[in-house]
Structures are given as structure tokens and as C-alpha cells.
Structure 1
């Protein structure tokens, strides 16, 4: 998984603390964690194509969440950045082995492929069960100053 997933998740969490209608420019989001703005912008554009964030143009423009955090799952963010493909790709290595049957689809018959597919499905289910709102609640419970620290940092970055 690329670092863009981590960047996107942190950016979405930070955006979740903004008041409705307020947006943060990419440069400010990038400066928050000292990330390269051009690369973060690619992640934000992918989130935009997925309907997770929206952009506002103009001097007060930037990015904001496009949906309520309750309607954004962690899987939504991962798929927006990484795409929908499974993490494991079976190249049917068994077709190269002794006794291989050229008519068998080893992506289905291979026990390793099956195990990896089950693990991928369990991982996706877990991410699909957790929303950005759940994550936000957990962060606020464990780190109560997170919201105010984030908003204060954004305010300082605007100066």
C-alpha cells in the first residue's frame, strides 16, 4: 500500500474537524505534515474523483469533505487511492510446475491464492466497517486536544 493512503486518511481526518463550508488549500494540508504539495494534491484529486472530498476554487478555496464522515469508510479512502484490485495477484505459478494441467485456472484452485483472497476479503470488511466518524471519535477520545490543535495549526498556516 502506498504512503498516499496514510496521507489521504490523515487529510480526511483533519478535514473532518473543519466547520461546514470551510476548505483548506492543498499547500496548507501538505504543510501540516511537511508533505510535498504536488504529490498530496494527486491524492486529493483521487479522493475528489471518488466523491470523498470536493474542491472550492477562489481565494478561500481548497478541499473539504464532500460527505459526512459517517458516510466515508476507511475502505472508501483506500480504494480511492489504491484502486479496487485485490492486494494479492495470483500469476498461476502452479502452471509452471510439474504435473500442471494447462486447462486448470489455478487462481481458483490454488490454496495459496484462496488463502490470500480470504485474507484480503477480511481486511476489506474490517475497513468497510469503520467510518471516518468512528476514527474521529476514537482519536478525540484518546487525544482530546486533536481537534483544537488541528484547527489552531490550520489557522497558523493561514497567516
Structure 2
């Protein structure tokens, strides 16, 4: 079954929180962890990963914490998930180089799953922190299929 990890869920929660704040002051990890009942050490590691991906930056010091590195409308769900999980992938092999499957050359599901994966990624790319914070995500049925 396709499912986001808790790390991805926590990353999305944290970034939506940052996107929804009126103040431009950095938010300490401890404060956010307590607000959402997320283990502080885990949230700290998630923020470090998000920082490496260029989604947030940190401010040191007593009034330190994290802030978004870009505007909320410039950060999409695909970026967030891929920064935590790695590439979005429905199947283990899309090329012979990555695949040790004996059925690769005669696989009948590869092409349809590649299409589905592409549509999922396109959908996630359309969902920004702005749309998440304002609860404006369009149902998949309303998104144009390419």
C-alpha cells in the first residue's frame, strides 16, 4: 500500500505551520514539537533534512529556530516528500539498469504504472504550502490529466 511515512507527515505539518505564521520570527523546534506532540529529536532531524533540501533555513541563538527558505507558493508537496523519502516510485524498476526483475523485458504493468507515477508526481507538484495552509487542495478528479 502506498503510504507516507510519519517523517513525511511531520515534515508537511511543520512546513504548513511555518507557512501559516504571520510573524517572520524563526520557530524553535522544541516549541513546534510540543505544539504538535511530535518527538523533539525526530522533528530536529526532519528539519535538518529539510534544510539540506533548501526548504528551510536555520537561525542560531536564543531567538533561533527555523524559517521557510522560499515563499509558501514556491514549495510543493513533491519537493517535501522527496526530500524526506527520496524519489516517488510506485515500482522498484523503471530501467534495466535499476532492475533485477526477470520479467523486465516482457513486463505488462511497467508502462501503466509509469503513467500513474507521473500523474501522482504532477499532482503533488501542483500542491504548494499555500494551498495546504489554506485548505485549497483540489480533488484529484478536478486536476487535468495529461
Which band: TM-score by shorter chain?
0.7 to 0.9
Give TM-score, length-normalised by structure 1. 0.73
Give TM-score, length-normalised by structure 2. 0.79
* Distance across 2 between alignment mates of 1:52 and 1:137: 19
* Distance across 1 between alignment mates of 2:43 and 2:90: 22
Residue of structure 2 aligned with 1:59, choices 52, 59, 62: 62
Structure 1 residue 120 and structure 2 residue 117: aligned? yes
Equivalence for 2:19: 16
User: Unaligned regions of 5+ residues in structure 1, if any?
Assistant: 101-105, 140-159
Equivalence for 2:142: none
* Distance across 2 between alignment mates of 1:35 and 1:56: 21
Q: Name the SS for the 2:109 alignment partner.
A: helix
Q: What do residues 67-116 of structure 1 show as CA deviations (whole Å, max 9, x unaligned)?
A: 100100111101111112523213554x2xxxx7xxxxx1x641222222
Equivalence for 1:145: none
More helix by share: 1
Q: CA RMSD in A?
A: 1.9
Larger Rg: 1
Q: How does 1:6-45 map to 2 (within 5 A)?
A: 6-45=9-48
User: How many residues are paired up?
Assistant: 128
User: Unaligned regions of 5+ residues in structure 2, if any?
Assistant: 94-98, 137-146
